[in-house]
């Protein structure tokens, strides 16, 4: 579904509120106040909080897909491409509220299912293309099962912002994500690929 500009801006702003303050404690009253609009205006677009969370997730995933597609269109080498995509994802994780992962999974099934579909389709296919590209460029080795590695990658990516695995008292989600990307590349890179990774890390 194509969103109108005014509706898209509304969901962009609600997404920012949820990222900053979490979901569980933000009622429709709170959200209207945060957005400086009336509840009547908010209810003109959604019927309840669950629908608002789902619509916000839909906006966020569409935005992320566009950003990643734009990165791919630059025709960088595979390691550069992965680093640029990871830089974008890390920026998303810099200030994300630690309860979002668990709140979505437990209370907002429509929004969570949208995320799972994004993860299992778009993210999977993006990583599959990146690895295939890297093998052709000689940056990644060719002696591993690509589909297994892709599945492992997206499974680890989901763990990164789950406080059950990485409690915020000890870890920053963005730093954990960077370590995951470095670990991933180191596990599949050729000598040429490792040199490219080290060069990018120095920057």
Domains, the chain, ordered by start:
49-202 (1.10.357.10)
Taking the model in full, what pTM does it have? 0.90
Assign 113 to helix, strand or coil.
Answer: helix
Residue 48 in tokens: 């309840």
Q: What is the C-alpha to C-alpha distance for residues 172 and 180, in angstroms, rounded to an integer?
A: 12
* Most distant CA atoms of the chain, gap in Å: 60
Q: What is the C-alpha to C-alpha distance for residues 195 and 200, in angstroms, rounded to an integer?
A: 9
CB 159 within 8 A of CB 165: yes
**Closest CA relative to residue 166, chosen from 179, 176, 154:** 176
Count of alpha carbons within 13 angstroms of residue 191, beta-carbon side: 0
Give the pLDDT of residue 3: 62
φ and ψ at residue 168, rounded to 5 degrees: -65, -15
**Which parts of the chain have pLDDT scores under 70?**
1-3
Distance set, CA 177 to CA 76, 81, 87, 157, 169 (Å): 21, 16, 9, 7, 16
Burial class (CB in 10 A: 0-12, 13-18, 19+), 63: middle
**Closest CA relative to residue 26, chosen from 104, 110, 93:** 104
pLDDT tens-digit series, residues 111-145: 999 999 999 999 999 999 999 999 999 999 999 99
CB 173 within 8 A of CB 160: yes
């Amino acid at each position: 579904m194509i969103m109108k500009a005014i509706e898209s801006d509304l969901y962009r702003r609600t997404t920012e509120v949820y990222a900053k303050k979490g979901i569980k404690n933000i009622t429709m009253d709170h959200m209207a106040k945060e957005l400086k609009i009336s509840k009547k205006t908010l209810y003109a677009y959604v019927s309840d909080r669950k629908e608002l969370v789902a619509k916000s997730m839909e906006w966020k995933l569409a935005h992320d897909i566009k950003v990643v597609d734009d990165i791919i269109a630059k025709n960088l080498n595979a390691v550069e491409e992965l680093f640029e995509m990871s830089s974008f994802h890390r920026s998303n994780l810099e200030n994300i509220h630690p309860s979002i992962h668990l709140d979505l999974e437990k209370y907002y099934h429509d929004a969570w299912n949208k995320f799972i579909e994004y993860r299992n389709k778009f993210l999977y296919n993006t990583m599959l293309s990146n690895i295939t590209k890297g093998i052709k460029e000689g940056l990644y080795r060719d002696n591993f099962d690509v589909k297994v590695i892709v599945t492992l990658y997206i499974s680890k990516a989901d763990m990164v912002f789950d406080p059950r695995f990485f409690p915020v008292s000890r870890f920053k989600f963005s730093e954990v994500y960077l370590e995951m990307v470095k670990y991933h590349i180191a596990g599949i890179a050729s000598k040429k690929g490792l040199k490219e990774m080290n060069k990018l890390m120095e920057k």
